[in-house]
Structure 1
Amino acid sequence: MTLALLFPGQGSQSVGMGVALADAFASAREVYAEIDDALGQKLALLMREGPEDQLTLTENAQPALMAVSLAAVRVLKVEFDIDVSRAALVAGHSLGEYSALCAAGALSLADTARLLKLRGQAMQRAVPVGAGAMASLIGPKTDLALAEAAAKAGSEVGVCVVANDNNAGNIVISGDKAAVDRAIEKAKELGARAIPLNVSAPFHCPLMQRAADEMAEALSGATLLGPRVPVVANVTARPETDPETIRRLLVEQVTGRVRWRESMEWMAGEGGITRFAEIGSGKVLTGMAKRIAPDAESVALNTPEDLEAFAKSFN
């Protein structure tokens, strides 16, 4: 089977995530300790005990989700001798792209943690709380054309764009609150359900330009190597290996669309992937994979038992 590793994005966090890995494996605890040292905070304790409102803060959720993913990657390598290089491709949803790059050796663990902490803070600073909004358009009639039409209606009163093209039936719009409200009305007229999202900022839209500028400065000083496994970028939905191209695309990703459906379709088609494994917290990407690429195998690797079973499948 040709394998791709997937790394989850914001929304997959929950109090207690990654605790079973830490309790079972010293290698996972070492990852959490390295990240705590890099950030100068007790992130592992926050993941274990909460409170949930602090873990959900963007500046904490982003490095925390990365921490669980990289702990699982470390466990696979140290305990089961399964290296990331066994995969043909890696990809991550939004912040998960940083996890993918770290797993593939393009970024160090400490740098990844610091970049994600800054990314979360910068995204929060970019727009005053309450000024922006996001909404999920869902249902069998929801496709990219419908979402684009809804966003166009919203853009008559402010910034409104498609932020996440997750899969058919699940597309997220983002922008000024008034514009998103107008887009929600239009989406309902067109036959979609629209659910406002409980987010602290309008991610992946032009309102995030200030955050993109901050990330451009931070990334310019970060050491970024060629990944050992090609990384399918959110912005291009294609595999990338050139460090400078990756650096530029990470900046563009802050304001740009997460082209996840296209990424998955490419991997399952031209990429030849027949097995997707989501590494980290939750099963969001696994669900999407089953809808986008139903002929491929899709598994979520959350627990020690998941990792052990996955490792045995290679024998």
Structure 2
Amino acid sequence: MIGFVFPGQGTVRVGMGGWLRRDPVGGAVVRRVDELLPEPISPLCARGPLPLLVDTAHAQPAVTACNLAALSVLRDRGHTPDVVAGHSVGELSALCAAGVLDVDTTIRLVAARSRLMSELAETGAMASVLGLPVERVEQLAAQVAAPDEPLVVGLENTADQTVVSGSARAIERFTAAAADARKIVPLKVSNAFHSPLMAGAVDGWAEAVRSAPMRPPEIPVIPNVTAEPTTDLPTIVDALIGQLTGRVRWTSTMRALSGVDQCVEVGDSKALTGMLRTEGVRCVSMSAPTALRALAGRTAT
């Protein structure tokens, strides 16, 4: 049993997707992504500049282009998943892998998501918290939040690493209060993703999702906000909409993947590979073509 996992926008870097663009199959997908976007993303992936690449409007399409290119290469080599999950915007790539979305629809939805999120006037912040259990982070976030300055757990990445998301002032108070944390690292993001500060984009996102052509999944999908495998399309749609303001329950998602024999991080990233190893789940990354050799011993499906 094999699982495919797809990274999110925090994994962008200049030069990303180089070998995938050079692969005939992967390169064809990237060229199609360039055609569908208002402006091509592949030059930014290849050469930057980094400040422009990490901007939400560009980061999400860039990561998705690499994810879908890697997926196409795997399919071309005869590898298909038994279950899929994606981290944040990576969930859309996972839905493509599960047959819910085709490539064109995936890219159009990612373009809409990135535009809606980047257009929000109110900006927040995010910070990675190391060395505290999620229950403690939740407690501290509730203590320092205010009605007009929310702070929530936006992502549960591992048992030892959580991301808080919300008001920048609330994060300052959180940092002062969390003396028992091993480390708190501000993230280089333009807003407070997976928090109430994304509420202004929800209506537009819900309209985009509900109007997109979708099919029931061919295999189970593990949505971020539920962390429970499902093949029910209405559940998947509701979870995809709720993800904009909801928590990414990646720790629970990884535990739901604990029964697979092998995971593949499908994109140019090793972030999820490292996270999965904290839960004892075997994973290889498509960030290099050596992943194909690692999978070669498996029977293609």
Q: Identity, % of aligned pairs?
A: 38
Q: Secondary structure at the match of 2:11?
A: coil
TM-score, normalization: structure 1?
0.90
Q: Secondary structure at the match of 1:254?
A: coil
- Residue identity opposite 2:61 in structure 1: P
Q: Aligned residue for 2:249?
A: 259
Where structure 2 has 5 or more consecutive residues not aligned to the other structure, the ranges are none
Maintained 8 Å contact 2:87/2:224? yes
Counterpart check, 1:224 vs 2:214: yes
* Aligned partner (choices 98, 120, 123) of residue 126 of structure 1: 120
Query: For residues 306 and 56 of structure 1, what CA distance do their matches in structure 2 show?
Result: 26
Q: Aligned residue for 1:285?
A: 272
Maintained 8 Å contact 1:70/1:280? yes
Go from structure 1 to structure 2 and tell me whether the alpha carbon gap of 1:41 and 1:145 turns closer, same or farther (over 3 Å shift): same
Q: Aligned residue for 1:161?
A: 152
Counterpart check, 1:91 vs 2:85: yes
Give the alignment of 1:1-315 within 5 angstroms. 2-23=1-22, 25-78=23-76, 80-82=77-79, 84=80, 87-128=81-122, 131-139=123-131, 142-156=132-146, 158-188=149-179, 190-268=180-258, 272-291=259-278, 293-294=279-280, 296-314=281-299
Query: For residues 137 and 186 of structure 1, what CA distance do their matches in structure 2 show?
Result: 12
- Residue identity opposite 2:227 in structure 1: A
Q: RMSD over aligned Cα, in angstroms?
A: 1.5
- Residue identity opposite 2:150 in structure 1: V
Where structure 1 has 5 or more consecutive residues not aligned to the other structure, the ranges are none
Deviation of 1:181 after TM superposition, in Å, equals: 1.2
After the TM superposition, which of the residue ranges 57-66 and 93-102 deviates more from structure 2?
57-66
Query: For residues 143 and 174 of structure 2, what CA distance do their matches in structure 1 show?
Result: 6
Query: For residues 243 and 14 of structure 1, what CA distance do their matches in structure 2 show?
Result: 33
TM-score, normalization: structure 2?
0.94
Q: Secondary structure at the match of 1:224?
A: coil
Q: How many aligned residue pairs are there? A: 299
- Residue identity opposite 2:127 in structure 1: A
Maintained 8 Å contact 1:59/1:116? no
Query: For residues 273 and 236 of structure 2, what CA distance do their matches in structure 1 show?
Result: 25
- Superposed structure 1 runs of 4+ greater than 4 Å apart: none
- Residue identity opposite 1:307 in structure 2: L
Maintained 8 Å contact 1:184/1:194? yes
Query: For residues 97 and 172 of structure 2, what CA distance do their matches in structure 1 show?
Result: 38
Query: How big is each residue's C-alpha offset from its partner over 1:186-222, in whole Å with a ceiling of 9 and x where there is no partner?
Result: 222x334211111100000011011121110111210
Query: How big is each residue's C-alpha offset from its partner over 1:162-206, in whole Å with a ceiling of 9 and x where there is no partner?
Result: 000111111000111111111122222x33421111110000001
Maintained 8 Å contact 1:18/1:281? yes
